[in-house]
Amino acid sequence: MPQLKAKSLEMRTPQATKTAVLVIGGAEDKVHGREILRTFVSRSGASNAHITIIPSASREPSIIGGRYVRIFEEMGAKKVEILDIREREQCEDSYIQASLEGCTGVFLTGGDQLRLCGVLSDTPAMSIIRQRVRGGQLTLAGTSAGAAVMGHHMIAGGGSGESPNRSLVDMATGLGFIPEVIVDQHFHNRNRMVRLVSALAAHPDRLGIGIDEDTCAMFERDGWLQVLGKGSVTIVDPTEVTHTNEPHVGATEPLNLHNLRLHILSHGDRYHLYQRTVLPAVYRVSS
């Protein structure tokens, strides 16, 4: 036990820029307080931030990318650029790789998560992002579709408003920045609890993270996630599930899952990804 504690303290040692992965539920405030986007810029180096925007998920990459350029420049970032990657072959361009090697923050916009994965997965550009995120050299943020890709197993689409069933969720392979989780976004706003539960029935070794609009689960390198923004982050933990009929029923038959654990977190609450423990905001010592 003391070894674990020592390791935890070592990982919490402050760095010049304390990098993080920000998983945003979509529709984040871009006009008023802009807390989530400000946190991203701050974690990317504040006035020294060099931010690269990847709008590959969007059908209108230059429009959506341009909007974030203006926001991040207004917040005082030193350099902001768009990598308008539309084809996988572009990920081998020296210019794109140099941008990803030199930046301090990468922002993945919303759109279609399948399009984003189709362009980025298993490319040299993706390898650079992954290595630098793992090495604590880069802050990564993704909103909406950019949030959906964070896990290894990715929700690509599906419905809502029914009993949990296998046909309710379409799964694909994500980019795997946080492989332990399955993320769903626009969560309570689009009634997606049943969709997430249906995904977890098929993958009970993962942790479900449902993120509301204008809300962010910010993952620190020490294993804690912290909630930012106006809505909730819903944690669905199947670790102690005692039974599911998922392997034995048809695609449209109702699923059962016994002994799921559920946490609803709000602003300032923390949750440890590996210990599966909650630290309510009320008990935190302000830093």
Q: Is residue 133 part of a domain?
A: yes
186 catalytic per annotation? yes
Check residue 13 and give its pLDDT.
44
Q: Is residue 12 part of a domain?
A: no
Q: Is residue 275 part of a domain?
A: yes
Q: Is residue 9 part of a domain?
A: no
Check residue 6 and give its pLDDT.
43
Q: Is residue 157 part of a domain?
A: yes
Q: Which of 35, 162, 180, 253 is catalytic?
A: 162
**Kind of pairing between the strands at 243-244 and 257-258:** antiparallel
Q: Is residue 11 part of a domain?
A: no
Q: Which of 186, 198, 213, 232 is catalytic?
A: 186
Q: What's the rounded Cα separation, in Å, for the pair 236 and 196?
A: 8
Torsion angle of the four alpha carbons 203, 208, 214, 217, in this order, in degrees rounded to the nearest 10: -120
Q: Which of 44, 58, 99, 144 is catalytic?
A: 144
pLDDT, one tens digit per residue, over 88-140 is 999 999 999 999 999 999 999 999 999 999 999 999 999 999 999 999 999 99
* CA pseudo-torsion sign 63, 219, 266, 185: positive
Query: What residue numbers bound the domain in which 112 lies?
Result: 18-283
248 catalytic per annotation? no
Check residue 282 and give its pLDDT.
81
- pTM score, two decimals? 0.93
Check residue 215 and give its pLDDT.
98
Q: How far apart are the first and last CA of the chain?
A: 26
144 catalytic per annotation? yes
Number of domains in the chain: 1
Q: What's the rounded Cα separation, in Å, for the pair 183 and 208?
A: 6
Q: Is residue 216 part of a domain?
A: yes
CATH number at residue 186: 3.40.50.880
Weakly modelled stretches of the chain, pLDDT under 50: 1-14, 287
Q: Is residue 8 part of a domain?
A: no
